[in-house]
Structure 1
């Protein structure tokens, strides 16, 4: 090596840089998000669409009626679908999430992209009712939220120059 540092030390981040760990975690998270959004693209309309088993539009209307306003409903059940929900919106939303997940899987992740994926999946989970009430949904949301802080704010390169914050490493 030119600077005398062994190749093994560079490859396996022995200098507390955690770059390989971040690289692997973000790619695996992109894969899990891709699977989750792909499943949502296949199942959201039959489950919570306008003519689904438990229509999400009725669910949101019920919440709005119980709480008295749309704003109160948004505070209790934060979902982007308060701004409009239809079968087409569910399908486009899911496929958009799938596409963004593939970007993360491809190695181009930053905090903004991960925050968008997290907000999109949280929106699905909150209107999913009984279909999205399992532990792995919440685990994906928790992991996705923590991963927002694992990568740089704007730099989407696969190997960013800055190290992950030490607080995120401890979490």
Structure 2
């Protein structure tokens, strides 16, 4: 569909309508920050004036430019186009590379970058759950309590709210954490929780300790799936989850010294 946006009308309008419809569904069903909204804006540029007039009769059928295009503007547009075409060589080569880069820049101006939300899409959803305890001994019998995030799945009885286009950066990073990659930020995050750092706690939906410093924190990975209708009626949960492994063993503040 994106390639058809550059075709003559009415093909471009039909392609734009399909893109907008698809992105609209993602806006309703997911929290992908501003990604879907900016895609809708780009696709709408391919909708013809007559199609807009058909949808909104108050808009004139022909809102084209009445005066001839100024020569200086034509020159600026052609020069900008030539620059972008030249700079696009490197991201285009990246598209067919065996070691394709995601969200990478290829020049110091950060133009024509390689944008993308996902390198691949998994069929199983793993979530990292962060827990803390006030007990001095983090062995069996310790009272572990979960930190609740604003957007990502946690409590099986709670369905996440819609936040997009607002970007919950911490929740976004937590979503990608089970997929691998650089996790050094996560260790810093755990240390901030052990310090009961106020700015960090404000990023959370719920601090189970009410601002008090926990003695230990840990992180465990769970496999999540949507509850069936029968499970929803029986248990009152939106999610069903099962523990997979411990991601970070119980750590205390002295471990970061």
* TM-score scaled by length of structure 2: 0.18
Q: Which has the larger share of helix?
A: 1
Greater RCO (CA < 8 Å, at least 6 residues apart)? 1
Q: Which has the larger share of strand?
A: 2
Structure with higher Rg: it is: 2
